[in-house]
Amino acid sequence: MITVSSSSPSPTPPHRTKHAASDSARSQRRDAFTLVELLVVIAIIGVLVGLLLPAVQAAREAARRMSCSNNMKQIGLALHNYASAYNEHFPNAGYDGIGYLNDYSPQAKLLPFLEQQNLMELIDFNVQMGHPGKDDLPMELHEAAQTAVPAFLCPSDPEPAEHILTMPSGAEIPIAGTNYGMNQGSGVDHSFHPSYEADGLCWANAKIRFASILDGTSNTLAFAETLRGPGGDAAGLPNNLITSQIYRSTENPSDFLNEMDSGDFDAVYDATTTWSGTRCEYWLRGTAPNGPLLVGRMTPNSRVPDFTYRSAKVNTARSNHTGGAMAVFADGSVHFVTDSVDREVWHASWTRMGREVETVTSQQ
């Protein structure tokens, strides 16, 4: 009899192979996100970003504000070093040369005290600059005029440091601006022209010394922060496109004293036909309409725009820091002045011998 061995393994039933494959597929599917799970993760990430982004932005602005404060500290120290080198005199906004005023700015004179000796060597103060509305800037000064100085720029200002200047001949050159302007005066005395004597510290031919500051150096503002304009002029812009922070009315400021004091933007807007975007775009020239002198008639970040009329101008303290602007006083101390500062106190801080009792620093 022939016997068939049964030791060979039995073949796996087909139904068991099918179940194993199904289990493996389910296992693979469990390793992937479903659409709902993916949407939930994205939503959670979005919420976290929404919570963290303001904190990151606040930290960045705090760093920019600290950098701005350090710039002002450097300028205050440079002012003291300049005075030590020049018999206690402060830098002025130019002097009478042969013909038109030679209006080199106080910022230009502070350069060697701001570690900018190489830039200083590009400037020959004996070169006659000429009238900004009639004469082109001499070629020897072009390189200096277009050089941006880091210590003159606030990192919170998004405007470019350089703009294009169209000179009287029609030729164009790049020029660099500044966010820090020297104290021309309070503006309460109606002295808006930088060639006329004022109650502050700097104008053309000024001969101010430390001894001239009868109110005390800790009570008298030396430089304040401001914003640079976008450049050029703008005519017929709608109200919502005119920002008082960077545009200036081209009307005579003496005609708008009430509006300045009341903060009435609409009255200024309705009476203005052309707007200038050239504020503080030219650090080299002291008395030019786009030069770096400030007047304290209006409080920081006033709703009323600044003014420029021929060479007269009212440039006030402005910034992109929340709630105020930086200022360095004649004693070298740096203070953050809030937008809500009392107007009389603010005015008192811009005068050198007003004999006021309260100033910005006395209230801090």
Residue 69 backbone phi and psi in degrees, to 5: -60, -40
Q: Residue 320 corresponds to which tokens in the numbers above?
A: 């992109």
Are 234 and 191 within 8 A, CB to CB? no
Beta strands 101-102 and 233-235, pairing class: unpaired
User: Considering the domain boundaries, does residue 189 fall inside one?
Assistant: yes
**Tell me, what DSSP letter sits at residue 172?**
E
Separation CA 123–CA 149 (nearest Å): 14
pLDDT at 102: 87
Separation CA 249–CA 236 (nearest Å): 12
Residue 254's domain comprises 58-363
pLDDT at 236: 67
Percent pLDDT > 90 in the chain is 62
Half-sphere exposure of 57 (CA within 13 A, CB side): 8
Number of structural domains the chain divides into: 1
Q: Cβ atoms within 10 A of the Cβ of 216, count?
A: 15
pLDDT digit string, tens, across residues 54-65: 777 778 888 999
pLDDT digit string, tens, across residues 141-174: 999 999 999 999 999 999 999 999 999 999 999 9
Q: Cβ atoms within 10 A of the Cβ of 205, count?
A: 14
User: Considering the domain boundaries, does residue 14 fall inside one?
Assistant: no
pLDDT at 239: 66
Separation CA 187–CA 189 (nearest Å): 5
Whether the full predicted model's pTM is greater than 0.95, yes or no, is no
Q: Residue 217 corresponds to which tokens in the numbers above?
A: 């150096």
The per-residue pLDDT of the chain, averaged, comes to 88
pLDDT digit string, tens, across residues 294-343: 999 999 999 999 999 988 999 999 999 999 999 999 999 999 999 999 99
**Tell me, what DSSP letter sits at residue 210?**
G
Residue 3 has pLDDT above 50, yes or no: no
User: Considering the domain boundaries, does residue 210 fall inside one?
Assistant: yes
Q: Residue 282 corresponds to which tokens in the numbers above?
A: 């030219």
Q: How far is CA 52 from CA 49, 59, 156, 256, in A?
A: 5, 11, 20, 45
Residue 28 has pLDDT above 90, yes or no: no
User: Considering the domain boundaries, does residue 10 fall inside one?
Assistant: no
